[in-house]
Amino acid sequence: MRIGVLADASGVSPRSLRYYEDHGLIRSERTTGGWRDFDDSMVERVIMIQHLFAAGLCSATIGDLLPCLEAPPEERTGVMDQLLAQEVERLEAKRRDIDRELDTLQALRTDTALPSTSRD
């Protein structure tokens, strides 16, 4: 399928698909006319990539993780578990930072409430 068809089927822009291909996340063959030709299996792969980006993973980590996700469970070496554990730890640290920032802003908001003044 051509890039426009893959874009429509996956809900991802052709520009993003080119980015994914440039970073080795998806692959295509080239027609004799130079057009990209994607296998039908790329639709599900692109959707998975979107979910992984939404989870906060970077393209390099996604590139490491995709082969693990596509391998049968009996062939997995534990790399996926290690990668996911690292990402969970990173996101939990990020959540702690956000919680701390929110607490600080909430404290400032309640501590700095301006007294009401009337102009008579």
Structure token digits, residue 42? 């790329």
For residues 63 and 25, the answer to whether their CB atoms sit within 8 Å is: yes
Residues 6+ apart with CB under 8 A from 103: none
Q: Is 55's pLDDT higher than 90?
A: no
Question: Which tops the pLDDT comparison, 83 or 7?
Answer: 7
Q: Is 117's pLDDT higher than 80?
A: no
Confidence band for 118, pLDDT divided at 50, 70 and 90: low
Confidence band for 113, pLDDT divided at 50, 70 and 90: low
> Which pLDDT belongs to residue 43?
96
Residues 6+ apart with CB under 8 A from 82: none
In the 8-state DSSP scheme, what is residue 30?
Answer: E
User: Phi and psi of 67, rounded to 5°?
Assistant: -60, -35
**Domains, the chain, with CATH or none:** 3-111 (1.10.1660.10)
Mean pLDDT of the chain: 88
3-state secondary structure 45-68: HHHHHHHHHHCCCCHHHHHHHHHH
